[in-house]
Amino acid sequence: MRIFMGLAAVALFALAGSAGEWKLVWSAIWILGANIREAGWPACGEIDIMEYVGHDPGVVHANVHTRGYNHARGTGRGAWTRVPDAEKTFHVYAVEWTPEKLDFFMDDTKYFTLDNDKTGLDSWPFDAPQYLILNLAIGGAWGGQQGIDDAIFPQRFIIDFVRVYQRPGAGG
């Protein structure tokens, strides 16, 4: 069992192009349950450390998806924070993950916490192995709500570093 794990990533969405050119992209730093093939989504668990949807500039989101906490059923859990220079400046997006809760940060400011309600796997599948994904999506159900414009290409999602750490002496 993971006693304490943290993950921090520094991301810059684009060095070239205007915010309007980011309107149709959806960048994310996220963790997905390694048992997705067996359990399916969202039962495997998904931790969205950072999601940026270009048609909502200057805002980043943190979300958690499980069988019990699922936006498609109206039970989603998440939050957003304003980052006015998200498209121009590197920022640190992080999650601190313990058996009791997930804390989400942007530049050392916590803006969302999901507490483990201790009701079981439907709400907390996060004691099982997970893997990290960093991606820049074009379109999608959320990112593509306003269509796709090939004129915005090329685009870049630049990651300065990713750090995964465990509190000393925490075990696991």
Q: Which of 46, 87, 96, 100 is catalytic?
A: 46
Structural tokens at position 148: 């796709």
Q: Residue by residue, what is the 3-state secondary structure of 70-110?
A: CHHHCCCEEEEEECCCCCCCCEEEEEEECCCEEEEEECCEE
Phi-psi category of residue 120: left, alpha or beta, with phi > 0 → left and psi -120 to 50 → alpha: left
How far, in Å, CA of 104 to CA of 127, rounded? 17
How far, in Å, CA of 70 to CA of 77, rounded? 7
Confirm whether 51 is a catalytic residue.
Answer: yes
Burial class (CB in 10 A: 0-12, 13-18, 19+), 152: middle
Q: Which of 51, 87, 96, 100 is catalytic?
A: 51
Asked if 133 and 28 touch (Cβ cutoff 8 Å), the reply is yes
Contacts for 159 with CB less than 8 Å, ≥ 6 apart: 9, 10, 11, 12, 29, 134
List active site positions: 46, 51
